[in-house]
């Protein structure tokens, strides 16, 4: 199928007919995201919202064969240590980084408040102990997403159900950091506009006799509860 992509506005994306089963060849790719939540409660909220996103994705976009999220079972050294002091808290560290870059303190404090973090904690020394309720163990979530082409990448988000749930995913304070690993051959447009500047992807080459086609051909829709 020839590539006839044309940029669409959000309204056009929402209005686009759903359920396409044809896809553009040689554009398939996989994203595997390591998403660190500040604690298990936050991780559960993220996964619950992402499951709602997955329901909309599988309903509307058959050319997204895998869209799956789970709490990671990887070794603990991939997750940030449990913060005990102000200097060890990822979101407070980011707030101090913004101050050093010249971001107005009022803006930094407002961002912390949106994350349900007391702005007064900015006055703590990095060696000062955090309040007990903030000394929580971070939790890593793994997200696996396979897109058969560029169009399915953009259209999987093209419903009000998806956008509502994703708004919950992006609630300030639910994420410490994220690392995106990509395998496959997305178009230059996706790489330049999304994967490189926004998702900060880490591209992994195929090893040895591996090829992208077998894992694409064997993909099945992930069963949803």
SS (HEC) of 43-79? HHHHHHHHHHHHHHHHHHCCCCCEEEEEECCCCHHHC
- In a 3-state reduction of DSSP, which class is residue 212? helix
What is the C-alpha to C-alpha distance for residues 42 and 45, in angstroms, rounded to an integer? 5
Kindly report, residue by residue over 7-61, the tens digit of the pLDDT: 678 898 899 899 999 999 889 999 999 999 999 999 999 999 999 999 999 999 9
Kindly report, residue by residue over 121-163, the tens digit of the pLDDT: 999 998 999 999 999 999 999 999 999 999 999 999 999 999 9
What is the C-alpha to C-alpha distance for residues 8 and 64, in angstroms, rounded to an integer? 19
Q: Which residues pair with 71 in a beta bridge?
A: 141
Is 29-75+140-205 CATH 3.40.50.300?
no
The residue ranges of DSSP E strands in the chain, in sequence order, are 29-37, 66-71, 139-147, 177-184, 202-203
Kindly report, residue by residue over 81-98, the tens digit of the pLDDT: 999 999 999 999 999 999
Could you tell me the pTM of the whole model? 0.82
Q: Which residues pair with 31 in a beta bridge?
A: 145, 182
Q: Which of 34, 64, 55 is nearest to 166 (CA)?
A: 55
How much is the pLDDT for 10? 86
Average pLDDT estimate for 191-219: 69
Domain definitions of the chain by residue range: 29-75+140-205, 86-134
């Amino acid at each position: 199928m020839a590539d006839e992509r044309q940029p669409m506005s959000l309204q056009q994306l929402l209005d686009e007919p759903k359920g396409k089963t044809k896809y553009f060849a040689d554009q398939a790719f996989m994203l595997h995201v390591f998403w660190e939540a500040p604690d298990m409660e936050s991780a559960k909220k993220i996964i619950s919202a992402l499951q709602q996103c997955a329901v909309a994705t599988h309903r509307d976009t058959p050319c997204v064969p895998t869209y799956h999220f789970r709490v990671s079972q990887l070794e603990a050294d991939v997750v940030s240590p449990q913060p005990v002091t102000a200097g060890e808290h990822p979101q407070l560290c980011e707030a101090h980084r913004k101050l050093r870059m010249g971001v107005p303190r009022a803006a930094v404090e407002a961002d912390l408040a949106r994350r349900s973090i007391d702005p007064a904690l900015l006055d703590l020394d990095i060696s000062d102990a955090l309040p007990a309720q903030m000394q929580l163990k971070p939790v890593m979530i793994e997200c696996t997403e396979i897109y058969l082409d560029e169009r399915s990448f953009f259209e999987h988000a093209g419903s009000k159900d998806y956008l509502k749930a994703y708004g919950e995913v992006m609630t300030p304070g639910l994420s410490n950091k994220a690392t995106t690993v990509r395998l496959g051959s997305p178009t230059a447009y996706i790489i330049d506009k999304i994967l490189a500047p926004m998702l900060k992807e880490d591209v992994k080459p195929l090893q040895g006799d591996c090829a992208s086609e077998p894992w694409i051909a064997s993909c099945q829709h992930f069963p949803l509860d």
